[in-house]
Structure 1
Amino acid sequence: MGRESGRSGAWLVLYAIVWVALLVAWVPFAVDPRDNTTGAWLIGAALAWTVGWGALLGYRRAWGPIGLSVPVGAGLLTAGAAVAVALDPRTGADAPDGESGPGAVLLGAGLLTLLGSALLLALGAGAGLAVRALRGRR
């Protein structure tokens, strides 16, 4: 049993590292308007991986790591948005009239990413619990 839990723990760490990497990998592509497709694919992969991460943790009933993953995911996405806004020449003092400044953008991004992270992780955790329940019935 100890050997299995060690391997399982290593997979959890690897899965978490890939999740964190995907959450920040889109930032360079958000700043470069010539390559939006790659950034969109990376964001999609990060969203799917977030649901998968929640499912894995939900299956294992690891509620503490799910609770920790919500602010970590939101923080990384908001930090990525902050970097993208800071590097984007169209924001700040040069923003066209009628557009929000960087502060409003980051406040909105922070709130949305917190809510989005919670929802995606909860969706995954629910799926993980459902799979666990179905496997237990056999």
Structure 2
Amino acid sequence: MRATDTLDHEGRQLYRPRRHDRGVIIGTLVYGLQGSEFDFDDRVLAHLQVVFTAKMRRRESFMFVWRDDPSVGDGRSAAWIDSAIPLYFRYSGGKQPVLNMEWLEEMSIAAGSTQGLVLGEEPGHEGEGVVRAHDNSMKRRDHPAN
């Protein structure tokens, strides 16, 4: 783990965008009636869709927390996910990524906790610098950083 890594209250590494030069396929989570848009790597978005769908089918609301991109303040954001609020997953790539069952299980358990689903690194890739989001991932387009 590097000094710049961010940990949750239990010492687990949080998902955080990392700078890179390689092309990453970026998808968008569109949330709410006003259509707030949040960009995530298509792979991350596919995992979120599975977890969100399972929770929403059971009408279980939960908190979703993630790190913001440095371009919008390097903070964190949270959204209350509820089946009554419109949600749209828009993928840039045409291929469905292979899903990591361990990560899905971890995310599902977290979504049922009082802290909510705090997006963390994919299991098996912690500290490897594996890029899971684009430099602009999680950039809030409804509140530009100017």
TM-score, normalization by structure 1? 0.27
More strand as a share of residues: 2
Q: Which has the higher contact order (CA 8 A, sep 6+)?
A: 2
TM-score, normalization by structure 2? 0.26
